[in-house]
A and B are shown apart, each in its own frame.
Chain A
Amino acid sequence: MTILCRRAVLAAALWCVPVAAQAAETRAKADVNCQALPTRLQYDCTLRLANARTDEPLSGATVRVGADMPSMPMAHNVRPVQATAEPEAGTYRARLTLEMHGDWALRIDVTGPVRDRIVKLMRFEPGRAEPSPRSR
């Protein structure tokens, strides 16, 4: 095999091997509470993020919230909005404008001290929002 070929094979093999486990992988967990706003299809969501293992609130993270309808992926999705940090540690707020009432999967992307994505299923109706009856 030529040198180039050997290098290519080595690179491919390295890519295939899972990266050695780094320090204990931190996961985030989120508590989502959404209130309906007077304007139609707008909701104000408060997220409480914490370290999944230690329960310590996650502050200083960049949080983006997006939403997608499980029954029609990518057809009705919502452009991700940046969540603003609240004075209380680990609490963030985001305003969501949805296209339709019904079941939505909220996608919370966290970057910063912890990098993670949390998916929360919620049901949005006029005037109220609650965790989807089917979600954990």
Chain B
Amino acid sequence: MDDYVVGVLSNIGVLAFLGLSAYLLLLTGEISFGQQAFFAIGAYAAGIATAIWGWPLAAGLLFGAAAGAAAALVVGVPTLRLHGLYFAIATLAFAEMVRLLFELLRYQVMIDGELVGPNGADGFRDIRYVFQNNIEPQQFLLVIYALLVAVLLGFALLERTRLGVSFRMIGVDYVLAQMHGVAVARHKLIAAGLAGALAGLGGGLYAHLTTYVEPRLFDVMLGVHSLAYGLIGGLGTALGPLLGVLIDIGLLESIRAFAGYRMIIFGGLVALLLIVRPRGLLDEILVHRIGGAWRRWWRRRAAKEAA
């Protein structure tokens, strides 16, 4: 496969984690502008684990996900009482604080005659696990998508369990959910932790994909992007954020011909799309209809075979 295509697909895969992270919180009815903070924490944690401490990739990614989850709980607890815009701005404030803290973080270790590690605003370069262990870009792409498929399967399972239904109940009306006996606070923390872990995992993959991260990457823009992926692709299913990332990056790549005007076209298209489909392409109504049609087709086929 062409290196360029592999690169684009890898980007799509990694950003899908970020989109899914924001999507999970959107399910519980909360808008988060701060998932990029856990993305950053995952990136730095996984990078430090493999580049400085010499851990294997799997352990590094796990560490990144765990760090993301832990940070998400740290911010989740004080913001439990907040809703809507207040919660959104609180997550934004937290994310900016994390970014600024990374600009101050300096943790460098001399390895093989070179300084390796995060160096404040200059960023964290030489996260070279992929190169040191001769992992081809195609192999890393496989790793990214294997993990992504596992996560999507997890989401599909989640929608069928009590936990997933509770999440959606809280998202629609948390007061009503509470009256039905759903432990809202606990569920919100679980959602926050899972979302943080997802973003952390994505961040770890991103760090190893690009080998260089700096605090500037993880600004508000990235955070609003993560929200936009879910909104564009649709909030009805976990495939929505993935579709959103595909559309975003795919569209951007395909209108390269309009070199200087890409953003203008893209921004306009997204705005128009949202007018027509405010909950995204694969919104709940469409997913419900597709699900219904599928079930009817299946039942008709079963009836035909029985006859």
Contact = CB atoms under 8 A, between A and B. Distances in A.
Interface of A: 15-19, 22, 25, 41, 64, 66, 68, 70-76, 79-80, 97, 99, 105, 107, 109, 115-117, 119, 134-136
Interface of B: 3-4, 7, 11, 15, 54, 56, 58-59, 112, 121-123, 125, 128, 131-134, 210-212, 214, 216-217, 219, 221-222, 249, 252, 256, 259-260, 262-263
A19 B262 contact: no
Contact of A115 (B121, B134, B221): B134
B215 to A, nearest CB: 9
A22 B133 CA distance: 9
Contacts of A117: 128, 131, 211
A50 B15 CA distance: 34
B212 A119 contact: yes
Contacts, number: 66
Contacts of B4: 79-80
B221 A18 contact: no
B263 A80 contact: no
Given A74-B11, A99-B262, 5 more contacts: A25-B112, A70-B214, A76-B262, A117-B211, A135-B122
B134 A22 contact: yes
A80 B121 CA distance: 26
Contact of A70 (B216, B256, B263): B216
B56 A17 contact: yes
Contacts of B121: 134
A16 B221 contact: no
Nearest to A70: B216
B54 A97 contact: no
B260 A80 contact: no
Given A16-B56, A116-B131, A75 B212 contact: no
A80 B7 contact: yes
Contacts of B259: 97, 99
Given A19-B133, A99-B262, A135-B122, A71 B216 contact: yes
